[in-house]
Structure 1
Amino acid sequence: MSLPNIWHHRKVADSSAKGCDLCYKTTTSVLVTPDKQDHFYVCAAHLKEVRFCKPIVDQAAIDAKKQKEKDDEIIAQAKKDYDEKQRKKREAEKGDDKDSKDKDKAKDSTAEAEKKDESKPKDQDKADSEKASQDEEPRVFELQRTFYQQRLNKKRQAEERKRQAEMSQRNRERLSIPSFFPAVPKDNI
């Protein structure tokens, strides 16, 4: 049962925060193996240190994300073009029926509507950029050799302690049985 050198970065609740294994400051960041065999608390600042770990980048996911952004831009442009054509079409229909005053009012109302529509995407863009910056942080890491070896040693020591505890429990149980010890000979020769 070997421990893989792939660690996923997870966050825990503030109430579950514990000391970092390196600097002992309270942290909510945890590195966990994929099969949850081992975990340890580590500060987010240590994850950026080259001598501690290096991020494992999933190039396929990055490419898919870029492609999705391009597709979203194309769709947004197509919607904008369609809305513009529809607005011009409505203006042309209204122009045949109404005075120039009505045209000015319609232009003002459409201009106000466009300003409102433009302000919403800016707010959404800000929220998307904040979300993207959080998502851009690497989530999978590989520990450097020395730190990985330390984790292996700690795991080995924990297993050894567990095995010794089981052996001492077995020995205590054996010693509590009266028939475990040989009986004193009763025959005098």
Structure 2
Amino acid sequence: MSTPSAPPKNLYHLRRVADASAKPCFVCYRQSTSVLITPDHSDFFYTCAGHLQDSGFCTPVVDEPEDAEKRRKEELQKEVERVKSEWDERQKKKKQTESDKKEDKNKKEDKDKDKDKEGEKEKEKEKEGEKDAAATAARVFTLHKKIYDMRVARLRQIAQAKRNQQLMKSPGFWPSVPKGGV
């Protein structure tokens, strides 16, 4: 028998495959084109982009701290700009509602509600795009301990099944037919 190989290091690189090569996600079984693979190619599995963002599933590894700091500053700057623009809009609306008559106020509120709904939909789309961009920005991940343990256990099961198959093919595994007189 061969000696058991060491489990792979808990470091997985994100790779993309063509849509035609999509396979079910390891967790939820939805079709996915994202593959996490170890650097030595000893383990790989398909996973959804949503799971890549789940901190209970995996954590992105940031190689360069400058890049992470730069991204964090950009995100903070975007957030500050968004809050400022919302504040300005609220102040404008407040001034308009004070100067308008009640009839105009009702008409504008209906229009503002429609605009707010459209704005909220656009913001949701932007957030989804940001999540997808964040998932694709990170190229290296470490799995959560329990998920990693599941992968190691799966690899051990596969190795054990291979050993059992080889053992069953060996000539001395099965008992021989009894010989002798009846």
Q: TM tier, shorter chain?
A: 0.5 to 0.7
Distance 2:21 2:36 in 1: 14
Q: How does 1:52-63 map to 2 (within 5 A)?
A: 52-59=57-64, 62=67
Unmatched 5+ stretches in structure 1: 67-132
Distance 2:159 2:26 in 1: 19
Q: How does 1:14-163 map to 2 (within 5 A)?
A: 14-59=19-64, 62=67, 137-163=137-163
1:38–1:135 Cα change, 3 Å: closer
Give the TM-score, by structure 1 length.
0.53
* Secondary structure, counterpart of 2:14 in structure 1: strand
Computing the radius of gyration from Cα coordinates, the structure with the larger value is 1
- % identical aligned pairs: 38
Distance 1:174 1:156 in 2: 22
Distance 2:173 2:36 in 1: 41
Matched residue type, 2:32: T
TM-fit CA distance, 1:136: 6.6
1:16–1:139 Cα change, 3 Å: same
1:5-45, Cα deviation, whole Å (9 max, x unpaired): 00000001111110001110000000000000000000011
TM-fit CA distance, 1:2: 2.3
TM-fit CA distance, 1:59: 1.0
1:135-177, Cα deviation, whole Å (9 max, x unpaired): 9710000001000000000000010111111111224x8769x
- RMSD over aligned CA atoms reads 3.1
Distance 1:46 1:135 in 2: 9
- Indicate which of 5, 13, 21 corresponds to 2:18: 13
Q: How many residues align?
A: 115
Higher RCO, Cα 8 Å, sep 6+: 2
Quick check: which one's helix share is greater? Answer: 1
4+ residue runs over 3 A deviation: 60-63, 133-136, 173-176, 180-183
Distance 1:32 1:52 in 2: 15
